[in-house]
Amino acid sequence: MIQDNAASVIGGAMIKMGKHRESSYSGLAAPAALGALRDAGITKDEVGAVFCGHAFGGMLTGQRIVKELGIGDVPVTNVDNACSGGATAVHLAVRAIEDGHCDIALVIGVDKLTQFGGGTLPLVQEDPEVQNGIVMPAVYAMRARRFLHERDATVEDLAAVSVKARRHGAANPYAQFQSEVTVEQVLDSRPIADPLTLMQCCPTGDGAAAVVLMSERERKRRGAQGMRAAASVLHSGQFEAGFRDMLRPEISYHSARDAYEAAGFGPEDLDVVELHDAFTIAELVYYEALGLCEPGESVGLLRDGRTAYGGDVVVNPSGGLLSKGHPVGASGVAQVVEALWHLTDRAGARQVENAQRALTHVTGGGIAGLDHGACTIHLFERTA
């Protein structure tokens, strides 16, 4: 029995991810927001609250976007949570509906990284690790180095993550990269932070995505279809001054544990996973954190094709961040849109057949003493 105040995603849209230097934040996000409303079959006047995730949009980004649609006089909340900003906005919308604050919420995720002219994500200079020269690729590169040291794994295994991602992305018209690559091409691309090469890092990009969430009572009344948020979990990292096992990021483990407990189903029930593959190593580490396999088994899972089409669960059918790029605040919402398309049989050439349940996962932010600053996990189930 689904509660009247349960939240479901009933509409979504995104723009093509890529380098859109000519677009403003509104220019990126307004088409996605309007697309989500139309997809949900609602009008602008029915939106009861807006949540906008972004990291670099500046003050009142959400208001700048929704005024273009004539949405006003409702609470608009802007959220920064680095790579989890968009998914945090989804989380807040789920909570707002569950807590009875509104029946229909619009969520927007947007960011424009080309404004920084390329290179690594700008980090906050107040952090001591940043002062010592840390960049995001280096965080993951050090994780990769330790992974190669502790596991029976090679750089070819890392490259295989990019090969799978780009193969999936080749079928996704919304991806920035729509071409396949080989292990050799990945390893021969220029070094970024050893052992990670350029093609093992998500490209700089701009993007926006939007979803409409609705209470169960309202959804039933309208007969709208979509996917129910069976779990919506947000965690922050725990500071640790000493040893930390970089192959077991506690923030993702804890978030996944709580999400499965809330949903009442587990990793073995998933058909689609969109996880945070900002760098190749991340996917291997997160297979284990999300319970898709036992700790130590992630390389075998990938090698055996169990996370690709025809396997146990399709991980990153969109091509992931490695194909789409990672416009920080947009990514978490874009994952939810991808999940919605699969759970409503609208994913086109990349449709995961008969997909019933999906997981989306974003985590990130580089802070000294933390795995990551934030992690958001959502579990979705096709509405009956």
Partner 1 sequence: MTDQESVLQPVPDTAADDRPVVTENGGLRGGRCQSCGAGSFPRAYICPSCNSTEIHDAELPGEGSLYTWTTVHISPTFATPYTLGYIDLSDGLRLLAQVLAPQEQLRCDLPVRLATSDQSPTGWGFVPVEGATA
Binding site for partner 1 (CB under 8 A): 119-120, 122, 126, 128-135, 137-138, 141-143, 145-146, 149-150, 190-196, 239-244, 246, 368-369
- Cβ atoms 349, 357 nearer than 8 A: no
What's the token pair of residue 310?
A: 């025809």
Task: Give me the least distance between CB of 140 and partner 1, in Å please.
Answer: 9
Measure CA 109 to chain center: 10
Confirm whether 83 is a catalytic residue: yes
d(CA 107, CA 266): 26
With respect to partner 1, which residue has the nearer C-beta, 132 or 354? 132
With respect to partner 1, which residue has the nearer C-beta, 245 or 353? 245
With respect to partner 1, which residue has the nearer C-beta, 44 or 244? 244
Which residue matches tokens 């701009």? 206
Task: Give me the least distance between CB of 366 and partner 1, in Å please.
Answer: 10
One of 52, 83, 102, 293 is an active-site residue; which one? 83
Residue 362: name the closest of 81, 170, 28 by CA.
Answer: 81
Angle formed at CA 175 by CA 347 and CA 89, multiple of 5 degrees: 80
With respect to partner 1, which residue has the nearer C-beta, 194 or 261? 194
Report the b/e string of 254-293 with b at 16+ CB within 10 A.
bbbbebbeebebebeebbbbbbbbbbbbbbbbbbbbbbbb
Task: Give me the least distance between CB of 61 and partner 1, in Å please.
Answer: 24
With respect to partner 1, which residue has the nearer C-beta, 244 or 257? 244
What's the token pair of residue 51?
A: 């949540």
Task: Give me the least distance between CB of 113 and partner 1, in Å please.
Answer: 13
- Cβ atoms 165, 203 nearer than 8 A: no
Burial bucket for residue 16 (CB in 10 Å: 0-12, 13-18, 19+):
middle
Cis amide leading into 195 (omega within 30):
yes
With respect to partner 1, which residue has the nearer C-beta, 120 or 178? 120
Task: Give me the least distance between CB of 233 and partner 1, in Å please.
Answer: 24
Any residues with CB less than 8 A from the CB of 148 and at least 6 apart, and which? Answer: 154, 155, 158, 195
How many CB atoms neighbour CB 119 within 10 A? 9
Task: Give me the least distance between CB of 365 and partner 1, in Å please.
Answer: 15
Positions annotated as catalytic residues are: 83
